[in-house]
Amino acid sequence: MPAVAETLDVVQSATDAGYKWGFSTDIEMDLAPKGLNEDIIRLISERKEEPAWMLAWRLKAYAKWLQMEEPDWSSVKHPPIDYQALHYYAAPKKKAGPKSLDEVDPELLRMYEKLGIPLKERAILAGVEIPEGERPPVAIDAVFDSVSVATTFRDTLAKSGVIFCPISEAVREHPELVKQYLGSVIPAGDNYFAALNSAVFTDGSFVFIPKGVRCPMELSTYFRINAQNTGQFERTLIIAEAGAYVSYLEGCTAPQRDENQLHAAVVELVLMDDATIKYSTVQNWYPGDAEGRGGIYNFVTKRAACRGARSKVSWTQVETGSAITWKYPSCILLGDESVGEFNSVAVTTNYQQADTGTKMIHIGRNTRSTIVSKGISAGRSNNTYRGQVKVMPKAHGARNHTQCDSLLIGDQCGAHTVPYIESRNPTAKLEHEATTSKIADDQLFYCRQRGLSAEDAVGLIVNGFCKEVLKELPMEFAVEAQKLLAVSLEGSVG
C-alpha cells in the first residue's frame, strides 16, 4: 500500500482520539437565561458590578449589532447561528468571590492542573536563578466560561508597575485607562462579531505596561469554555506605553460536545513609541469529531495599533482547533518605522475550516511588515490564507514581505490563498510568494528507511515545514505547539 494512503488510513481510524482536552468539569454554575436582549446585557453588566458608562457602551454596541449582518465574504460555511439559543453569561458559583488562590474551587484548580496550567505561584526568590530544565515563571490569568477565576503573580508584577488583571476588574479599578483605550483600536461597529462582543463581553485580560518597563515575566491567559450552549466572548486589552515590552501568551481549550459553540473574542493592542508586544496564541478549541459534529465556531477580531514611532508588534499563532476559525490579527502601522509581524501555522483536519490571515496597513513612513503563513490541510478540511497588505499614499519607504506556503495531506482537502496587495506609494516595495505542495513520497520513504514510522515521519516533516513560525514562540510554548501539531495530525491525519 502506498505510504501516504496508509498514513491516511491511520488517520481515519484514529478519529478524534487525539483531542485530549475534551473532558468537561462538573462545577456549580451561575447561568443567565438563554437569549440576547437589553435585559441580558444589563444583567451581565450588573453581575460584573460595572459603572454606568460601561453599560451605556455595551447597549450602544448592541444597537449597532442589531443593524448589522453576519459577514459572508470568507470561505467558511456553517448553518445559521441561532443567537437566541445561547447563554451569554456562565460563571462558576462562588460564595463571596475568591480573595486568593486558596479560595478558588478545588475542582477548578484540579481542572487546570489536568490541562497542565499551574495556578500555583511558585515562590521566586530575588537573585536565585531558575534551575535548568524548570520552566521560568509565567503569570497566568485563567478565564473559565464568562469569568476570570484566578490571576497569578499579580503582586510581583505590581512592583514594576505592570497591571495584569481580569478586564472586568480593570473596568472598576482603572476606569480612566479602559475608557481611553477600549474600542479605540476596534470600534464597537467594526464588524458583526466585534459588535456582538462589545455588547456582551464577559471577561478577558487587561494588561498595562507603563513607560519604559520591560515586563519581568511572560504573561499568559488561559481560556476554557466548559458550560454547554454557552458563548464565550472575551475581551483583551493590552497597552504598552513608550519603550515598554511584553510577551503575552494565549491558550484555549474546550470540552468535546456534539453541538457547536460560539466564541467571538476581541483583542486590542495599543503601542506607543518604541514599545514592543509579542502576542502568541496556541488555539486548541475543540475542533469537532471525525464526522464534523460539534466544535467551536471561532470568530475573532484581533488588531494592534502601532501608534508610536518604532513600535513593534508580533503576532504568532498556532491554530489547530475549532470547527471554524475566522481570524485576521492585524497591524495598523501608524507610527513612522513601526513594524508588524504575522507568523501563523494553521492545521485543519477532518471537517475543520480555517479562514485566517492578517492585514498590514502601512500608514507611517518606513513602516515594515512581514507575513509568514503555513497552512496544513488534511482530511476533508479547508484551509484558507486571506491577507491584505495595504500601503497608503504617505507610507514612503514601506516594505512588506509575504510568504505563504500550503501543504496538502490527502486529496479530499483544500488549500486556498487569497492575498490582497494594494499600494499607493511608489517608494513602497512589496513582495509576495506562495507555494502549494504535498509531502513528497521520497521524503517519507527516506524517513521510514531510517526507522521512523509513517506517522512520525509526517509529524517531523510538518514540524520542519512550520519551523520558521514555531521558532517565534516562547520556548515552552514552542515545545507545546510542536506536540500539539503532532497530536492533531495523529488524531486526524497521520
Distance separating alpha carbons of residues 296 and 21, to the nearest angstrom: 13
397 binds another protein (CB under 8 A): no
**Nearest distance from residue 489's CB to another protein, in Å?**
15
76 binds another protein (CB under 8 A): no
100 binds another protein (CB under 8 A): no
441 binds another protein (CB under 8 A): yes
2 binds another protein (CB under 8 A): yes
461 binds another protein (CB under 8 A): yes
**Nearest distance from residue 423's CB to another protein, in Å?**
5
Q: Which three cell numbers stand for residue 296?
A: 467551536
438 binds another protein (CB under 8 A): yes
454 binds another protein (CB under 8 A): yes
363 binds another protein (CB under 8 A): no
Question: Which of residues 296 and 466 has its CB atom nearest to another protein in the complex?
Answer: 466
Among 430, 473, 481, 485, binds another protein (CB under 8 A): 430
187 binds another protein (CB under 8 A): no
Distance separating alpha carbons of residues 193 and 28, to the nearest angstrom: 29
Residues 231-260 that bind another protein (CB under 8 A): none
Question: Which of residues 97 and 451 has its CB atom nearest to another protein in the complex?
Answer: 451
3-state secondary structure the chain: CCHHHHHHHHHHHHHHHHCCCCCCCCCCEEECCECCCHHHHHHHHHHCCCCHHHHHHHHHHHHHHHHCCCCCCCCCCCCCCCHHHCECCEEECCCCCCCCHHHCCHHHHHHHHHCCCCCCCCCCCCCCCCCCCCCCCEEEEEEECCEEEEECCHHHHHHCCCEEEEHHHHHHHCHHHHHHHCCCCCCCCCCHHHHHHHHHCCECEEEEECCCCECCCEEEEEEECCCCCECECEEEEEEECCCCEEEEEEEEECCCCCCEEEECCEEEEEECCCCEEEEEEEECCCCCCCCCCCEEEEEEEEEEEECCCCCEEEEEEEECCCCEEEECCEEEECCCCCEEEEEEEEEECCCCEEEECCEEEECCCCCEEEEEEEEEEECCCEEEEEEEEEECCCCCCCEEEEEEEEEEECCCCEEEEEEEEEECCCCCEEEEEEEEEECCHHHHHHHHHCCCCHHHHHHHHHHHHHHHHHCCCCHHHHHHHHHHHHHHHHHHCC
Piece of the chain touching another protein by CB under 8 A; list 20-28, 103-111, 349-357, 426-434: 426-434
Piece of the chain touching another protein by CB under 8 A; list 175-183, 194-202, 225-233, 416-424: 416-424
Among 427, 475, 479, 483, binds another protein (CB under 8 A): 427
**Nearest distance from residue 393's CB to another protein, in Å?**
7
415 binds another protein (CB under 8 A): yes
**Nearest distance from residue 278's CB to another protein, in Å?**
21
Residues 6 or more apart from 99 whose CB is under 8 A from it?
Answer: none
Piece of the chain touching another protein by CB under 8 A; list 17-25, 95-103, 115-123, 412-420: 412-420
Among 200, 345, 428, 458, binds another protein (CB under 8 A): 428
The identity of residue 440, as a single letter, is: A
Among 216, 418, 476, 487, binds another protein (CB under 8 A): 418
Question: Which of residues 184 and 425 has its CB atom nearest to another protein in the complex?
Answer: 425
Question: Which of residues 318 and 430 has its CB atom nearest to another protein in the complex?
Answer: 430
Question: Which of residues 256 and 330 has its CB atom nearest to another protein in the complex?
Answer: 330
Q: Name the nearest CA neighbour of 279 among 477, 486, 142, 462.
A: 477
160 binds another protein (CB under 8 A): no
Residue labelled with grid coordinates 513601526: 338
Question: Which of residues 242 and 452 has its CB atom nearest to another protein in the complex?
Answer: 452
Among 361, 372, 408, 481, binds another protein (CB under 8 A): 408
Question: Which of residues 456 and 476 has its CB atom nearest to another protein in the complex?
Answer: 456
Distance separating alpha carbons of residues 219 and 349, to the nearest angstrom: 30
34 binds another protein (CB under 8 A): no
134 binds another protein (CB under 8 A): no
**Nearest distance from residue 462's CB to another protein, in Å?**
9
Residue labelled with grid coordinates 456549580: 28
Q: Which three cell numbers stand for residue 19?
A: 483531542
**Nearest distance from residue 81's CB to another protein, in Å?**
22
36 binds another protein (CB under 8 A): no
Among 156, 419, 476, 487, binds another protein (CB under 8 A): 419
476 binds another protein (CB under 8 A): no
154 binds another protein (CB under 8 A): no
Distance separating alpha carbons of residues 18 and 14, to the nearest angstrom: 8
Among 9, 445, 475, 479, binds another protein (CB under 8 A): 445
Positions in the binding site for another protein (CB under 8 A):
2-3, 73, 391, 393, 406, 408-438, 440-443, 445-454, 456, 460-461, 463-468
